[in-house]
Amino acid sequence: MNIPSNLKFTQSDEWFNAADGSMGLSDYAQGQLSDIVFVEILVSAGDVIKAGAPIASVESVKAAAEIYAAASGTVKAINDGLADKPEVLNSDPYGAGWMVKVDGGDASGLMDAAAYEKYCEERSH
Amino acid sequence: MTYIPISPTEREAMLAAIGVKKVEDLFKDVPAKHRFPKLDLPPALTEMEAAASLEGWASGNETTRDLVSFLGAGAYNHYIPAAVDHILRRGEFYTAYTPYQPEISQGTLQAIFEYQSLVAALTGMEVSNASHYDGATAVAESVNLAYANFRGKRTKVVISPTVHPQYRATLRTYTQGMGLELAGDDSQADLEAGPEAIASLVDDNTALVVVQYPDFFGRIHDYTQLVVTAHARGALVCVAANPTALALLKTPGAMGADIVVGEGQPLGIPLSFGGPYLGFFTTRKQYIHKMAGRLVGETVDNRGQRAYVLTLTAREQHIKRERATSNICTNQGLMALASAVYLALLGQAGLRQVAELCYHKAHYAAERLGKIPGFGLCFSSPYFHEFSLCCPRPVEEVNAHLLEHGILGGYDLGRDYPALKDHMLLAFTEMNSRDEIDYLVEVLSEVSHD
Q: Look up the CATH number of the domain holding residue B430.
A: 3.90.1150.10
Q: How far apart are CA B147 and CA B153, in angstroms?
A: 8
Instruction: Give the pLDDT band of residue B100 (cuts 50, 70, 90).
Output: low
CB atoms within 10 A of CB B289: 22
Tell me the CATH number at B221.
3.40.640.10
Does B1 map to a domain? Answer: no
Whole-number pLDDT of residue B3? 66
Please tell me whether residues B352 and B338 are part of one structural domain.
Answer: no
Q: How far apart are CA A47 and CA B147, in angstroms?
A: 20
Provide the number of structural domains found in chain B: 2
Please tell me whether residues B217 and B308 are part of one structural domain.
Answer: yes
Please tell me whether residues B139 and B261 are part of one structural domain.
Answer: yes
Angle subtended at Cα A106 by Cα A103 and Cα A109, rounded to the nearest 5 degrees: 155
pTM of structure:
0.88
Which of helix, strand or coil describes residue A66?
strand
**ipTM confidence score:** 0.79
Does B88 map to a domain? Answer: yes
Q: What is the pLDDT of chain B when averaged over all its residues?
A: 93
CB atoms within 10 A of CB A54: 14
Instruction: Transcribe B241-288 into DSSP letters.
Output: E-HHHHTTSPPTTTTT-SEEEEE-TTTT---GGG-S--EEEEE-GGGG
Does B425 map to a domain? Answer: yes
% chain B with pLDDT above 90: 79
Please tell me whether residues B97 and B193 are part of one structural domain.
Answer: yes
Q: How far apart are CA A125 and CA B399, in angstroms?
A: 75
Whole-number pLDDT of residue B449? 58
Does A2 map to a domain? Answer: no
Please tell me whether residues B370 and B316 are part of one structural domain.
Answer: no
Whole-number pLDDT of residue B320? 79
Does B36 map to a domain? Answer: no
Strands ordered across the beta sheet of B411-412: B376-377, B386-390, B423-427, B411-412
Looking at B297, B315, B342, the residue that finishes a domain is: B342
Greatest mean pLDDT among A62-76, A93-107, B55-69, B259-273: B259-273
Provide the number of structural domains found in chain A: 1
Please tell me whether residues B165 and B300 are part of one structural domain.
Answer: yes
Whole-number pLDDT of residue A69? 96
The mean pLDDT value for B186-206 works out to 93
Does A58 map to a domain? Answer: yes
Task: Supply the range of the domain harboring residue B434.
Answer: 68-79+347-449
Does B37 map to a domain? Answer: no
Instruction: Give the pLDDT band of residue B378 (cuts 50, 70, 90).
Output: confident
Contact residues, B window 311-330, toward A, CB-based 8 Å cutoff: 312, 314-315, 319-320, 323
Residue type, A114: A
Q: Which of A44, A49, A57 to mutate to test the interface with B (most CBs of B within 10 A)?
A: A57
Of the given ranges (B178-192, B306-320, B353-367), which has the lowest mean pLDDT? B306-320
Instruction: Give the pLDDT band of residue B99 (cuts 50, 70, 90).
Output: low
Tell me the CATH number at A66.
2.40.50.100
pLDDT at residue B251 is higher than 90: yes
Contacts of residue B289 in chain A, CB cutoff 8 Å?
Answer: 38, 40, 59
Please tell me whether residues B74 and B181 are part of one structural domain.
Answer: no
Task: Supply the range of the domain harboring residue A16.
Answer: 8-104
Looking at B319, B342, B365, the residue that finishes a domain is: B342
Looking at B297, B324, B342, the residue that finishes a domain is: B342
Does A88 map to a domain? Answer: yes
Does B52 map to a domain? Answer: no
Of the given ranges (B223-227, B260-264, B327-331, B356-360), which has the lowest mean pLDDT? B327-331
Contacts of residue B323 in chain A, CB cutoff 8 Å?
Answer: 57, 64, 66
Please tell me whether residues B225 and B110 are part of one structural domain.
Answer: yes
Chain B contact for A59, CB < 8 A? yes
pLDDT at residue B203 is higher than 80: yes
Tens-digit pLDDT profile for residues A6-38: 999 999 999 999 999 999 999 999 999 999 999
Does A31 map to a domain? Answer: yes
Does A124 map to a domain? Answer: no
Whole-number pLDDT of residue B2? 61
Q: Tell me if A59 and B289 make a contact (CB, 8 A cut-off).
A: yes
Chain B contact for A42, CB < 8 A? yes
Enumerate residue ranges in chain A where pLDDT < 70: 125
pLDDT at residue B96 is higher than 60: no
Question: β-strand B156-159 against B206-213: which pairing, if any?
Answer: parallel
Q: How far apart are CA B337 and CA B334, in angstroms?
A: 5
